[in-house]
């Protein structure tokens, strides 16, 4: 995996989004968190579901993945949260340097 990644999770409320965002930024585990409203369609316990959620996308150094995943899990309201990491294969060198500069 590359040196930088985007981590995504979804939450069910603005309060939950704010809690995740505050923790990951305060602990310098993400340089930036973007939030967007989404509608999620999924199967949970054998039943099809449709829910309004907030998608959080975090720009990170991949070396912070384990700590970030643990932190999100600690404050996340779901029993089984989506926490996925997607490698950034290429990016503007200035932007990637900024990620490195503002995270641990």
The answer to whether 53 and 42 have CB atoms below 8 angstroms apart is no
Q: In 10 A of CB 6, how many CB atoms? A: 17
Over 80: is that where the pLDDT of 2 sits? no
CATH no. for 4-102: 3.30.70.120
Assign 1 a pLDDT band (cuts: 50, 70, 90). low
**Three-state DSSP class for 65?**
helix
- Indicate the DSSP class of residue 77: S
Angle at 28 between CA 38 and CA 84, to 5 degrees: 40
Q: Tell me, what's the pLDDT at 82?
A: 96
Task: Note the pLDDT tens digit of each residue in 3-58.
Answer: 999 999 999 999 999 999 999 999 999 999 999 999 999 999 999 999 999 999 99
């Amino acid at each position: 995996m590359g040196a930088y990644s985007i981590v995504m999770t979804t939450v069910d409320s603005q309060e939950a989004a704010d809690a995740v965002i505050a923790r990951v930024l305060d602990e310098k585990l993400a340089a930036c968190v973007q939030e967007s409203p989404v509608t999620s369609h999924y199967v949970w316990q054998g039943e099809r579901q449709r829910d309004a959620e907030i998608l959080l996308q975090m720009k990170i150094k991949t070396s912070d993945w384990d700590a970030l995943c643990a932190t999100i899990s600690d404050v996340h309201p779901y029993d089984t949260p989506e926490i996925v990491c997607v490698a950034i294969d290429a990016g503007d060198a200035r932007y990637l340097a900024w990620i490195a500069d503002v995270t641990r």
